[in-house]
């Protein structure tokens, strides 16, 4: 299959530019498109055959359900059989935006979209291209991240091209995304809302709107806990991973730097290709030819936005060992560390 690439300006595009993309979605094809979090791979969520194509193109396990994207808040009542007051309040506060809600599913949502679960994941994205694509096509768009399963999520169209060119009908190139980490997922089918995946909408932001919330114990961890099953099926898979072994080093920053120096030397002496993931503040402390800055410690947003690109860069370099500094586990840092720990297979050392 030849994949069409459509270039659009992320804000100043004409609605007509999306006409072909809409007709692909209407005829059960696959279109990758930018959202404010990462690029999504979209198909008609209510057509079993269309949703099935997503799993094939990504090589995604069929028990890993898809998030349905909507452009109009009222659509939630078409897709969920029950919408509790807390869900309404969260939609008021954060939609359109990077928040996905889990609700009991309506009859019309096929099991192929929900991985056989009787709940459904719904989000209304804020990216103008995503919103217009959904609105104009009139399709409820099931869209996981537009990467091959297991690889880092795409934050630019060339990441999508690298993974899915030849396997999908169209890629809409709307430039670099703003946030760079997947949406926060919150389950509203329990009395106390449960965060299944941390993201840009932090625990504190959710608490301000609905009061008490909890974090899925399988996610609230610096170690792999094989005996606890994550409630979001996707969180149990190795994910976001570069091909080399990523190792995160935590502790007081000067100790981290000297610990990484020792590890780099040891691996280089054994003939391995090594890279270091540091920050703007610390990059000068490592040998220039192997250090990569992920962003500034003064802005967690810059680190979130740079993470997946740098993990892909590690593959382009052919890095066999990658040593990364760690980050604070608070607010957005919680989402950053969650993705980094998964990418590292929970390989964490204390300096």
Pick the piece of the chain touching ligand AMP (CB under 6 A) from 76-84, 231-239, 246-254, 258-266: 231-239
Order of strands, sheet of 119-123, starting from the edge strand that comes earlier in the sequence: 4-7, 170-173, 31-33, 40-44, 141-142, 67-69, 119-123, 99-104, 184-187, 194-197, 214-215
Which one of Mg ion, ligand AMP, none interacts with residue 102, CB within 5 to 8 A by kind?
Answer: ligand AMP
Q: Where are the alpha helices (DSSP H) in 108-252?
A: 111-114, 128-137, 157-164, 203-210
182 touches ligand AMP (CB under 6 A): yes
81 touches ligand AMP (CB under 6 A): no
Which one of Mg ion, ligand AMP, none interacts with residue 195, CB within 5 to 8 A by kind?
Answer: none
185 touches ligand AMP (CB under 6 A): yes
**Contacts of 315 by beta carbon, 8 Å cutoff, 6+ apart:** 242, 243, 244
**Separation of alpha carbons 333 and 336, rounded Å:** 5
- Asked if 242 and 290 touch (Cβ cutoff 8 Å), the reply is no
Q: How far is the CB of 298 from ligand AMP (least distance, A)?
A: 28
Pick the piece of the chain touching ligand AMP (CB under 6 A) from 117-125, 266-274, 307-315, 333-341: 117-125
Q: What are phi and psi of 195, to 5 degrees?
A: -80, 120
Q: Which residue is nearest to ligand AMP (CB)?
A: 234
Q: How far is the CB of 201 from ligand AMP (least distance, A)?
A: 14
114 touches ligand AMP (CB under 6 A): yes
The residue among 51 and 291 lying less far from ligand AMP, judged by its C-beta, is: 51
Query: How far is it between the farthest Cα atoms of the chain?
Result: 61
Residue from 44, 145, 184, 334 in contact with ligand AMP (CB under 6 A): 145
Residues that bind Mg ion (CB under 5 A): 145
Whats the size of the chain, residue-wise? 351
- Asked if 249 and 326 touch (Cβ cutoff 8 Å), the reply is yes
235 touches ligand AMP (CB under 6 A): yes
144 touches ligand AMP (CB under 6 A): yes
Q: Cα dihedral sign for 267, 221, 278, 164?
A: positive
The residue among 145 and 184 lying less far from Mg ion, judged by its C-beta, is: 145
102 touches ligand AMP (CB under 6 A): yes
Q: How far is the CB of 181 from Mg ion (least distance, A)?
A: 11
**Could you tell me the two tokens for 20?**
């072909």
80 touches ligand AMP (CB under 6 A): no
Torsion of CA 336, 277, 241, 113, to 10 degrees: 30
**Which residues sit at the interface with ligand AMP, rule CB under 6 A?**
64-65, 67, 102, 114, 117, 119-121, 144-145, 182, 185, 196, 231-235
């Amino acid at each position: 299959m030849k994949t069409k690439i459509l270039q659009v300006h992320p804000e100043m595009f004409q609605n007509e530019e999306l006409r072909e993309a809409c007709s692909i979605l209407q005829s059960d094809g696959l279109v990758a498109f930018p959202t404010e979090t990462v690029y999504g791979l979209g198909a008609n969520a209510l057509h079993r055959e269309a949703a099935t194509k997503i799993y094939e193109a990504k090589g995604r396990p069929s028990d890993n359900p898809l998030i349905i994207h909507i452009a109009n808040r009222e659509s939630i009542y078409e897709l969920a059989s029950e919408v509790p007051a807390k869900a309404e309040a969260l939609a008021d506060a954060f939609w359109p935006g990077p928040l996905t809600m889990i609700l009991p599913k309506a009859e019309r949502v096929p099991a192929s979209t929900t991985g056989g679960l009787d709940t459904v994941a719904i989000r209304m994205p804020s990216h103008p291209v995503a919103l217009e694509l959904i609105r104009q096509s009139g399709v409820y768009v099931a869209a996981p991240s537009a990467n091959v399963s297991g690889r880092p999520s795409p934050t630019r169209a060339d990441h999508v091209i690298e993974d899915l060119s030849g396997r999908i009908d169209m890629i809409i190139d709307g430039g670099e995304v703003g946030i760079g980490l997947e949406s926060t997922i919150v389950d509203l089918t329990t009395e106390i809302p449960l965060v299944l995946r941390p993201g840009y909408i932090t625990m504190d932001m959710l608490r301000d709107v609905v009061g008490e919330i909890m974090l899925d114990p399988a996610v609230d961890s610096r170690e792999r806990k094989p005996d606890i099953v994550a409630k979001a099926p996707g969180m149990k898979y190795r994910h976001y991973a570069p091909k080399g072994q990523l190792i995160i080093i935590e502790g007081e920053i000067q100790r981290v730097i000297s610990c990484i120096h020792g590890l780099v030397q040891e691996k280089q002496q054994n003939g391995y290709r090594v890279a270091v993931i540091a920050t703007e503040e610390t990059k000068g402390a490592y040998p220039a030819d192997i250090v990569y800055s992920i962003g500034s410690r003064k802005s967690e947003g810059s680190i979130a936005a740079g993470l997946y690109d740098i993990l892909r860069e590690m593959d382009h370099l052919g890095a066999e060992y990658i040593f990364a500094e760690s980050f604070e586990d608070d607010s957005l840092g919680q989402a950053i560390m969650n993705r980094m720990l998964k990418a590292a297979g929970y390989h964490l050392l204390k300096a």
